[in-house]
Amino acid sequence: MRQIEIFDTTLRDGEQSAGVTLTVAEKVEIAHQLAKLGVNVIEAGFPLASPTDFQGVFQVAQQVRGVTVAGLARARAKDIEAAWEALRPAEQPRIHTFIGTSPVHMRYKLKATPAEILERAVQAVRLAKSKVSDVEFSAEDSSRSDPDFLAEVFAAVIKAGATVITISDVVGYITPDEFSALVRGVREKTAGIEKVKVSVHCHDDLGLAVANTMAGLTAGADQLECTVNGIGDRAGNAALEELAMILHTRRDLYPLTTSIVTTEIMRTSRLVSRLTGMPVQYHKAIVGRNAFAHEAGVHQDGILKEPSTYQIMTPSDVGWEEDHSSLVLGRHSGRHAVRRHLGQWGITLDEASFETLFARFKQYADGKQNISKEDMLSLLRAEEESQG
């Protein structure tokens, strides 16, 4: 089975999220957890960006074993030198260099001709290759680049020693069909592509990061770039937990494996959320508070009879604590769910008392979001007092 590599950039792209700053110690703590989660590559930061970034990469490189540690560098000598200095202690260092290849990036941001961009890319990869054997080259803004120019740049950097080439949608603009065609086109047109790994890096500005990454995968990508909870610049990156669970849940469709330990997903998600201060939306796939919560009566009834009626994965697959498949008690809940909760709390009622309590519960739940055990106990007490 084909092994797909997971490149996690929570500590670099994720840390670039507006309002997020991680200390060096926090980066190391997250990196240890990412290693436990089973990612293949940890992009730990952008060493030239600041002394803290440099230290973050250096400490992760020194302390975290068993994974490749990458540092980001623009296609400039001083960036690459800094990345190499920061990555020195790594067991498996990777320098990740990039340059914009779209007309708008070349003309306005880099103020250079395509020929000059190609030359800078080759020089950067050559310099990085003189430091480490593992060099990733990203064509920034691939999705808005001329596909023929893209293939030319990739062929040149492969010749210069790149081991991974990345097709990116850094502005979150492309659609899955287009991205699939782009990745296929690059694979067909680029000389030497069979010698390297093809990586994809997608952003979520139109909510398509995961869909585009999956399209890239089926078009032949070997490495997926993503972040925990999908954090990252602007609307964020492809969410690691979603990609991992798509491949796990739909293994009938994708004969691929990753080294992700799915039961570490929740722990990683919580850690990243807590240390970055970025809450996870309630209905976020896989890791949101409501991701496995069922409130509707029909659904609860189905779940109690047979979980697969409304559940395609189990909460324990992703490391939610046992009880989480919470059948939430709310105004949509039916008798089944209420009875089950009472049972779990050790409360047994005769039929008549149950019916009275259920009626009170329905009335009470109408104006509330979630009904807790305490709520139910107080309803029960009120009922006893009114009879007593």
Tell me the one-letter amino acid at 326: S
Beta strands 164-169 and 256-257: pairing type? unpaired
Q: How far apart are CA 61 and CA 351, in angstroms?
A: 64
Q: Token match 């260092």: residue?
A: 93
- Taking contact as CB under 5 A, which single stretch among the options 8-16, 96-104, 135-143, 241-249 is the one that binds Mn ion? 8-16
Q: Is 13 in the site for Mn ion (CB under 5 A)?
A: yes
Beta carbons of 213 and 243 less than 8 angstroms apart: yes
CB of 203 to Mn ion, least distance (A): 6
Give Cβ neighbours of residue 74 (< 8 Å, ≥ 6 apart): 48, 97, 98, 99, 124
CB of 160 to Mn ion, least distance (A): 23
Kindly identify the residues of this chain, within the stretch 164-183, that bind Mn ion according to CB under 5 A.
none
Beta strands 256-257 and 92-100: pairing type? unpaired
Q: How far apart are CA 32 and CA 12, in angstroms?
A: 15
**Which residue lies nearer to Mn ion by CB, 13 or 242?**
13
Site string for Mn ion, 215-254 (x = CB under 5 A): ----------------------------------------
Q: How far apart are CA 88 and CA 135, in angstroms?
A: 14
**Which residue lies nearer to Mn ion by CB, 94 or 299?**
94
DSSP string, 220-274: T-SEEEEBGGG--STT-B-BHHHHHHHHHHTTTT--EE----GGGHHHHHHHHHH
- Taking contact as CB under 5 A, which single stretch among the options 9-17, 135-143, 270-278, 305-313 is the one that binds Mn ion? 9-17
CB of 349 to Mn ion, least distance (A): 56
- Taking contact as CB under 5 A, which single stretch among the options 12-20, 137-145, 337-345, 351-359 is the one that binds Mn ion? 12-20
**Which residue lies nearer to Mn ion by CB, 13 or 301?**
13
- Taking contact as CB under 5 A, which single stretch among the options 11-19, 123-131, 317-325, 371-379 is the one that binds Mn ion? 11-19
Beta carbons of 66 and 38 less than 8 angstroms apart: no
Q: Report the residue closest to Mn ion, judged by CB.
A: 13
**Which residue lies nearer to Mn ion by CB, 105 or 294?**
105
Q: How far apart are CA 65 and CA 336, in angstroms?
A: 49
Number of residues that bind Mn ion (CB under 5 A): 1
**Which residue lies nearer to Mn ion by CB, 205 or 317?**
205
Beta carbons of 131 and 90 less than 8 angstroms apart: no
CB of 370 to Mn ion, least distance (A): 36
CB of 198 to Mn ion, least distance (A): 17
CB of 15 to Mn ion, least distance (A): 11
**Which residue lies nearer to Mn ion by CB, 158 or 200?**
200
Beta carbons of 185 and 147 less than 8 angstroms apart: yes
CB of 67 to Mn ion, least distance (A): 20
- Output the CA torsion sign for 77, 79, 82, 87: negative
CB of 12 to Mn ion, least distance (A): 8
- Taking contact as CB under 5 A, which single stretch among the options 7-15, 37-45, 318-326, 378-386 is the one that binds Mn ion? 7-15
- Taking contact as CB under 5 A, which single stretch among the options 13-21, 26-34, 85-93, 347-355 is the one that binds Mn ion? 13-21
The 10 Å Cβ neighbour count of residue 320 is 19
Element (H, E) at 7: strand 5-8
**Which residue lies nearer to Mn ion by CB, 7 or 154?**
7
What tokens were used for 287?
Answer: 């890791």
User: Per residue in 329-357, is it b (16+ CB within 10 Å) or e — as a string?
Assistant: bbbbbbebbbbbbbeeeebeeeeeebebb
Kindly identify the residues of this chain, within the stretch 22-41, that bind Mn ion according to CB under 5 A.
none
| DSSP helix/strand/coil, 379 | helix
Kindly identify the residues of this chain, within the stretch 251-270, that bind Mn ion according to CB under 5 A.
none
**Which residue lies nearer to Mn ion by CB, 142 or 258?**
142
**Which residue lies nearer to Mn ion by CB, 50 or 378?**
50
**Which residue lies nearer to Mn ion by CB, 226 or 357?**
226
Binding residues for Mn ion, per CB under 5 A? 13
